Amino acid sequence: MTGMRLSVILGAIVAIGVLEPPSALAQRERDGEREQAQSRIDTTFTFSRTGVVDLTQISGDVIVTAWERGEARVRAYTERGRVRSNLSSSRISVNVERVRGRVGDSRFEVSVPVGVRVIARSTSGDVSVRGTRGQVDARSTSGDVEVTDATERVLLESVSGDVRASQLTGEVRIESVSGTIEARDVTGDVRAETTSGDVSLTRATSKSVYVATVSGEVEYEGNIDAGGRYEFRAHSGDVRLEIPENSSAQFSVQTYSGSLDTEFPLTLQPGQRTSQRPRRFEFTLGGGSARVTAESFSGDIVLTRRARSSR
């Protein structure tokens, strides 16, 4: 049996040698691309600022930091598994392979030039990406995800861990199942959703915001842009909005069994009762150019003014 397996492996190696044209091999060598598998890596090499970093962990943390140098440093180790890497001047791919079904604790620490695109995943570890100022796709199943200073397209996900982000610019999408979502200093379109966690957006500057949770709470502190659309939804959690007092927006606020507490002037329509269900209020501030929707089934909705000077 062992001999048969050996012959299969040898056959595969021969086949690779036969099937891959020499020019392709030469090209790969010119690109400096090397596939490796070992328990530990620590290497530094020239890396493009428009390159892509793709890191996949099973049981351990992924940490990506950025620097101004035009090179990358990759440090990775695993206790029982094997670190597989594929490194070139435009792409870094590192993941951990199980050995006899086991992998043990692992850790990836990668430093890259500012501007690279980062894809980072861990099943049970934390994922941290700081200062890359490029696209980031960071996900963990049970660990936390923390990202600062990312741009263009930012996708952050965790199942049971928390997601914390700051200084994001561009199209931002954050999802969690039971973890908390906290995002600060976000500029751009934001979509944040969780099932049982809370969602907090602070110092947001956006024309399009969608925040939803089922049993968690929603907090938004940010601008209301003329012509923007803002949607905040919860089922059993409260929705709290702190918005500029000089906002220009049409508001639609509804709760089935919760209450409404607002610092903004509210005029009831003829025949409208505050006790009827669902409790639904519409009012307009300024010219009403933006649209704001805040809804909760059983949670309260709280609207507070933010003085212009507080930002």
Partner 1 sequence: MMTHTINCGTFDDRLSGYLEGELSPGEQRAAEAHLASCLRCTALVRDLDAIRADAGALPELSPSSDLWDGIARRIEAPVVPLAAPAAPIFVVAGERRRRMDRVWLGAIAAALVAVTAGVTYMLTIATSPRREEIAVSSPAVVSDTARLAIPDSPFPTDTAAPHDSGAPTPGSAAQNVVNAPNAPTTATYSREIDRLRTIFTRNRNQLDPRTAAIIEANLKVIDDAIAQSRAALAQDPASRFLNDQLNNALDKKLELLKTAALLPQRT
Query: Is the CB of 81 or the CB of 244 nearer to partner 1?
Result: 81
What is d(CA 255, CA 178) in angstroms, rounded to the nearest whole number? 23
Beta-ladder partners of 164: 146, 182
Which one of 235, 289, 300, 304 is in contact with partner 1 (CB under 8 A)?
Answer: 235
Nearest to 301 by CA among 258, 263, 272, 266: 258
Task: Draw the binding track, 151-190, toward partner 1 (x: CB under 8 A; -: no contact).
Answer: --------xx--------------x-xx------------
- 248 near partner 1, rule: CB under 8 A: no
Q: Which residues contact 297 (CB under 8 A, 6 or more apart)?
A: 234, 235, 236, 255, 256, 257, 258
Q: What is the DSSP letter of 205?
A: B
Q: What is the DSSP letter of 28?
A: H
Nearest to 310 by CA among 225, 208, 203, 206: 203
Query: Is the CB of 84 or the CB of 133 nearer to partner 1?
Result: 84
- 75 near partner 1, rule: CB under 8 A: no
What is d(CA 162, CA 158) in angstroms, rounded to the nearest whole number? 7
For partner 1, how many residues bind (rule: CB under 8 A)? Answer: 68
Task: Draw the binding track, 189-228, toward partner 1 (x: CB under 8 A; -: no contact).
Answer: ----x-xx---------------x-xx-------------
- 84 near partner 1, rule: CB under 8 A: yes
Phi and psi, residue 182, nearest 5°: -130, 125
- 37 near partner 1, rule: CB under 8 A: yes
Stretch 115-144 residues interacting with partner 1 (CB under 8 A): 123-124, 141-142
- 71 near partner 1, rule: CB under 8 A: yes
Q: How far is the CB of 43 from partner 1 (least distance, A)?
A: 5
